[in-house]
Amino acid sequence: MTAADVDTGRAQPAERLTSAWQAPPGLPGWLMAVNHKQIGRRFVFTALGFLLVGGLQSMFMRWQLGGPEQDVLSPDAYNALFTMHGTTMMFLFAVPILEGLGMYLVPLMVGARDLPFPRLNAFGYWLYVFGGFILYWSFVTGSVPDGGWFAYTPLAGPEYSPGSNLDFWLLGVTLVEISGILGALELVIVILRHRAPGMALHRMPLFAWSQLVMSAMILFAFPAVVVASLLLEVERKTGAPFYDPDGGGNPLLWQHLFWIFGHPEVYIMLLPATGVISAIVPVFSRRPIIGYAAIVISQVAIAVLSFGLWVHHMFTTGLPPLVLAFFAVSSALIAIPSGVQVFAWLATLRFGRPRWETPLLFIAGFIVIFTLGGITGVMVAAFPFDAQVHDSYFVVAHFHYVLIGGVVFPLFAGLHHWWPKLVGRQPSESLGKVAFWTMFVGFNVAFFPQHILGLRGMPRRFYTYPDEYGWGALNLLSTLGAFAFAAGVLVFVTNLVRTARSGPEAVDDPWGGDTLEWATSSPPPPYNFAVPPVVTSAQPLWNPAPAGADPTAEAVLARLADPPAGVREQPITTAVDGRFRGVALLPGPSYWPLVTALAMAVAMVGVLVDNVPLVVVGASGTLAAIVGWVRPEAGTVGMRRHELGDVLDGRRSTGVWGAAAGAAVLAVLLAYFCYAHLYLAVSVETWPPEGTPPLPALRPAVLVGIICLAAAASVRAGRPRHRGADRLPGAGLLGLGAGVGVLALAGGASMLADLGLSGTERAHDASLLVLHAFVGVIALAGVGINAFAAYQAARLGDHPWVSAAAAISATWWTVIALSWAAVAGVVYGWPQLLGSGG
Amino acid sequence: MAGTEARTRTAFAGSRPHSPPEAVRALLLASVGPALWFGHLNASYLLVPPSCEWRHGWAFVVVTAVALAGISGAGRRSWALWDPRSHDGPTVVRFLGMAGVVLAGLFALTTLLVGASALVVHPCH
Ligand code: HEM
């Protein structure tokens, strides 16, 4: 039952395998890197940097609050610091580090060689870096965001925040959230399509389950804040009054959209952290986890329930008591699956033989702190209690217990546990233990007194308090505890950094782990597994698969140890039962992800500084970079069809899964735009407002929809037939699809022009314009995809690139037709159904 | 391109084109409970203003009954797939069947409590 029992063929990797997967040396190789381990490590290191920065900000705040009426910080500086501290911790530290850990570990755990779209992954990393850069550039320009980490309107709107502070926040956060969405797409697809043969869903490591659930949640939750931010940025730049009651908007729309994202966000951070725990507890208890199925089911239940809780952040906004009751019930019930997980870990510890080493100590710390945070969570889920403590230090204490207990402690457990795999060196146990005890004691001294301060009425987000309120002593204690906690964090990070430079070399499996990452060397080779493994158990290292468990798969997998020169191959399996299906080809290092992200960031900066030429340069640069990125010569997919062998292409390729997942994200984005429109329609007294021009009947909209469907149909007909296809019909029909698409765009645009809407005066009109623009932009992209695919089809004929592009284009046009159906239904159909005709 | 020909000749003998429909069915059944609960919560939320106008909460009873019927139906089918009395080892279908039963139970309880709160709190308050 050791790593050596799993035959990954690591002993003698073929030369070609190493050279196919290795990144080029030096700075160019660093800039072009796409491998999941490099990118995952970068996410982890960058996010750790942001943790230290966010921590430093909190130290200044605690210093200021350590005594009454201090003037370490001005009121404005305090506003800026709590905003940037919250934003940094939530957007730049917690989610990226957990996703980064997933990017590094999940492919190893499921027996894959890389993420399915390595370049997209690198692109996501650069977006994250540029998003963070934009947020922090605000310190240089002196316009630091100061509207709180949830940037409520109307405070964040153009009237009360006229400077560019909030623009930095909105644009920076949008880039970071797009990066989060891309990472989630990668993780969902690697888990569903690239697991080791035999790894059916009931044999998947619990850490991978938690990453799957987290990623699915991100795909549904992050688009809400992207939509909210886009609408607010449009309002700030153009005056379109989405959130302004004077123009028929509603400031509460922001709160709804933000918390539809914000509440799941808490679980998006917690669930992967619990995945870390479920990975560590069995290893350090030296027995399989008790309640595997119960943990998986609890994770899914928590994820779903978390999407029905957003209103519990709005208990004091004047919603009817019955609505509050609905959400209070659902909020309280989330305690059941949360509790089930805790009991499963405790039972595993009780019936195992625990080794109290650093990772397990951090888990024990988690159980104590998170349970206390959970108890205060159930208290604030009762809205009469919430009404008393809302916006007080009780809430500050509650969410730090949940976030630091639920995210930082398990994460540190995971970092210590997997550090040997990440850097190839073993961290010091004694320093790890010193860090744990300092953090544990420091944390409780810092945050427990805040419950009492909150109950005594101390409000959050106040930069100081008068002496006579008697809050000084507890605040001083809290500050001392915070400094102790920070010292513990520094010891922990120092241990990691020192180890990475000069620690003892780590063996392959220092803890006696049960999952596949421990079957590789520390750190793993660039291709992870010379021969990708087959598994027959949920603990593949403790119960290795017998030879011949899946002879078909094994025959193909054995050949992957010796690939054609420069070719990166990765197995594909079925989503539910993990049966072997074939092989995917992955692209190698490239500058395009960096260039594309840079161009996008330039466009964002153009918006920020109101510089139209800069926006144009950025946008056209982005477009050009995308063309450079996807052209057939840029990837390994330049192989001809007869060279492909076991490779799945066209409709069966991973690219089509990517397109489908991308389409799902677009659908979610559109759903939130429609939600915003409908929310305004039902919450605003006169809708549509007086003076709104009447909308036309449904008929022209139906016509535009039919044209979109025609475009989809022509693309489907134009897909090259696999063997011996005639090249002209493929190119011709793809081109026809592009032409029909232009027709649909022209039809939609002329309908819109006829309406005579005024987006800057009325929220109703602005919302209609946004909905139309959304479909217009994706249709424009569809025309671009088709035109480019038609050109390549004419050039290359029946080529795998063309069949993949045609399959993607067919999916895309179906999405456009469905999106238009949704918009037409909301804009033209719904008012007619209600008889308002407007 | 050595080895290419050998590759081309490999077929996926033994691998079928799609996941077995039973496993996919089990997955879909497991998602019915959560989906209906979500629909029920949002429908109940939207029904508050009209119910206040109608001065009656019957609409909540109707949507709760419909949601509960759907959830329990899916739960029963999942139970058949799980078949706890079977002595077969764990399979992905049985695993998903069990998930379907437990999720149906949890979300039926949540739906019931959401629906019941409409009997206690008046929509016009
Ligand atoms: C060294 C540990 C930490 C200390 C001493 C600390 C301290 C503070 C302080 C003083 C505030 C402002 C309270 C107020 O005036 O309302 C705050 C807010 C906040 N903290 Fe922390 N914090 C720490 C770590 C974290 C971590 C790890 C996270 C998240 C993972 C986090 C998330 C937040 C959030 C979301 C806010 C709210 C910001 C807002 O009101 O907009 N904190 N924290």
Lowest mean pLDDT segment, chosen from A166-180, A526-540, A550-564, A793-807: A793-807
Lowest mean pLDDT segment, chosen from A107-116, A514-523, A817-826, B61-70: A817-826
Alpha-carbon span A356 to A386, nearest angstrom: 38
SS3 call for A505? strand
Domains of chain A, by residue range, sit at 30-502, 649-834
Ligand 1 contacts CB of residue A403 (under 6 A):
yes
- Contact B23/A577, CB-based, under 8 Å? yes
Q: How far is CA A332 from CA A308, A336, A625, B60, in A?
A: 11, 8, 49, 20
> Taking the alpha carbons of A349, A355, A359, A362 in that order, is the dihedral positive or negative?
positive
Lowest mean pLDDT segment, chosen from A59-73, A307-321, A350-364, A594-608: A307-321
Q: Does domain A649-834 have CATH number 3.30.70.20?
A: no
Provide the CB-side half-sphere exposure for A234 (13 A, CA): 19
Residue A437: name the closest of A477, A409, A415, A479 by CA: A409
* A249-297 tens-digit pLDDT: 999 999 989 988 988 999 999 999 999 999 999 999 999 999 999 999 9
* A219-235 tens-digit pLDDT: 999 999 999 999 999 99
Structure tokens at A260: 């539809």
Q: How far is CA A817 from CA A769, A777, A784, B100, in A?
A: 18, 13, 16, 33
A378-382: average pLDDT = 82
pLDDT at A315: 61
Beta-bridged to residue A570, according to DSSP, are A584
pLDDT band at A799 (very low <50, low <70, confident <90, very high): confident
Q: How far is CA A686 from CA A314, A674, A692, in A?
A: 24, 18, 11
Residue A76 has pLDDT above 60, yes or no: yes
Helices A165-193 and A95-110: crossing angle in degrees, nearest 10, is: 10
pLDDT at B83: 82
Provide the CB-side half-sphere exposure for A800 (13 A, CA): 22
Q: Touching check for B87 and chain A: CB below 8 Å? A: no
Q: Verify cis geometry, omega within 30 degrees of 0, for the bond prior to A523.
A: yes
A30-34: average pLDDT = 95
Nearest CA in chain B to A323: B45
Ligand 1 contacts CB of residue A408 (under 6 A):
yes
* A40-65 tens-digit pLDDT: 999 999 999 999 999 999 999 999 99
Report CA(A369)–ligand 1 centroid distance (Å): 16
Q: How far is B98 from chain A (nearest CA, A)?
A: 8
Higher pLDDT, residue A645 or A707: A707
Question: Look-up: residue for tokens 């078949």?
Answer: B83
pLDDT at A748: 81
* A121-140 tens-digit pLDDT: 999 999 999 999 999 999 99
SS3 call for B80? helix
Per DSSP, A825 falls in state I
Per DSSP, A647 falls in state B
- What CATH superfamily is the domain A30-502? Cytochrome c oxidase-like, subunit I domain (1.20.210.10)
Mean per-residue pLDDT of chain A:
89
A523: left (phi over 0), alpha (psi -120 to 50) or beta: beta
Q: Residue A565 in contact with residue A576, Cβ under 8 Å?
A: no
SS3 call for A577? coil
Q: Residue B27 in contact with residue B96, Cβ under 8 Å?
A: yes
- Contact B95/A201, CB-based, under 8 Å? yes
Residue located nearest, by CA, to atom 4 of ligand 1 = A58
- Using CB atoms, pick whichever of B24, B99, B120 lies closest to residue A296: B99
Residue A810 has pLDDT above 90, yes or no: no
Structure tokens at A581: 């299906």
Report CA(A399)–ligand 1 centroid distance (Å): 8
Give Cα A723 to chain centroid, integer Å.
39
Alpha-carbon span A49 to A97, nearest angstrom: 10
List alpha helices for A513-653, DSSP H: 551-559, 592-608, 612-630
Alpha-carbon span A620 to A602, nearest angstrom: 10
pLDDT at A355: 95
Residue A380: name the closest of A326, A313, A447, A308 by CA: A313
Shortest-distance atom of ligand 1 to CA A459 = 16
Residue A165 has pLDDT above 90, yes or no: yes
At A98, give phi and psi (nearest 5°).
-70, -40
Q: Residue A14 in contact with residue A558, Cβ under 8 Å?
A: no
Structure tokens at A455: 């109950």
- Using CB atoms, pick whichever of A200, A311, A333 lies closest to residue B92: A200
pLDDT at A13: 57
Residue A644: name the closest of A800, A480, A528, A457 by CA: A800
Alpha-carbon span A49 to A15, nearest angstrom: 37
Q: Apex CA A214: angle with CA A439 and CA A145, to 5°? A: 65
Q: Which residues of B touch A579 (CB under 8 A)?
A: 15-16, 19
Give Cα A709 to chain centroid, integer Å.
32
Residue A725 has pLDDT above 50, yes or no: no
Same fold, A30-502 and A649-834: no
* Kind plus residue range of the DSSP H or E element containing A82: helix A75-87
Lowest mean pLDDT segment, chosen from A228-232, A308-312, A591-595: A308-312
Higher pLDDT, residue A794 or A621: A621
Residue A755 has pLDDT above 90, yes or no: no
Q: Which residues of A touch B41 (CB under 8 A)?
A: 308, 326, 330
- Rounded mean pLDDT for each run of 10 residues along chain B, 125 residues in total: 32 38 90 95 87 84 96 96 76 93 96 89 80
pLDDT at A837: 42
pLDDT at A114: 97
Higher pLDDT, residue A696 or A536: A536
A358-364: average pLDDT = 97
| Cα diameter, chain B | 79
Ligand 1 contacts CB of residue A83 (under 6 A):
yes
Provide the whole-model pTM: 0.91
pLDDT band at A77 (very low <50, low <70, confident <90, very high): very high
Alpha-carbon span A402 to A311, nearest angstrom: 19
Q: Tally the residues of chain A.
A: 838
Ligand 1 contacts CB of residue A258 (under 6 A):
no
Alpha-carbon span A116 to A40, nearest angstrom: 14
Q: Which residues of B touch A296 (CB under 8 A)?
A: 99
pLDDT band at A838 (very low <50, low <70, confident <90, very high): very low
* Kind plus residue range of the DSSP H or E element containing A568: strand A568-573
Structure tokens at A567: 């070719």
* A510-537 tens-digit pLDDT: 999 999 999 999 999 999 999 999 999 9
Best probe residue, ligand 1, of A56, A58, A60 (max atoms within 8 Å of C-beta): A58
- Contact B92/A201, CB-based, under 8 Å? yes
pLDDT band at A169 (very low <50, low <70, confident <90, very high): very high
Shortest-distance atom of ligand 1 to CA A407 = 30
Q: Touching check for B118 and chain A: CB below 8 Å? A: yes
Question: Look-up: residue for tokens 């009360």?
Answer: A160
pLDDT at A513: 95
Give Cα A413 to chain centroid, integer Å.
22
pLDDT at A595: 98
Question: A568-573 and A580-586 as β-strands: parallel, antiparallel, unpaired?
Answer: antiparallel
Cβ–Cβ contacts within 10 Å for residue A165, how many? Answer: 22
**End-to-end Cα separation, chain B, in angstroms:** 76
Best probe residue, ligand 1, of A59, A82, A266 (max atoms within 8 Å of C-beta): A82
Structure tokens at A766: 């602005």
Q: Apex CA A482: angle with CA A476 and CA A484, to 5°? A: 105
Structure tokens at A161: 């925040």
> Taking the alpha carbons of A532, A537, A542, A544 in that order, is the dihedral positive or negative?
negative
Ligand 1 contacts CB of residue A398 (under 6 A):
no
Alpha-carbon span A636 to A148, nearest angstrom: 46
Residue A652 has pLDDT above 80, yes or no: no
Residue located nearest, by CA, to atom 35 of ligand 1 = A86
- Contact A201/B38, CB-based, under 8 Å? no
ipTM exceeding the 0.90 mark: no
- Percent of the residues in chain A that have a pLDDT greater than 70, as a whole number: 92
**CB within 8 A of A401, min separation 6: which ones?**
A369, A370, A372, A373, A376, A447
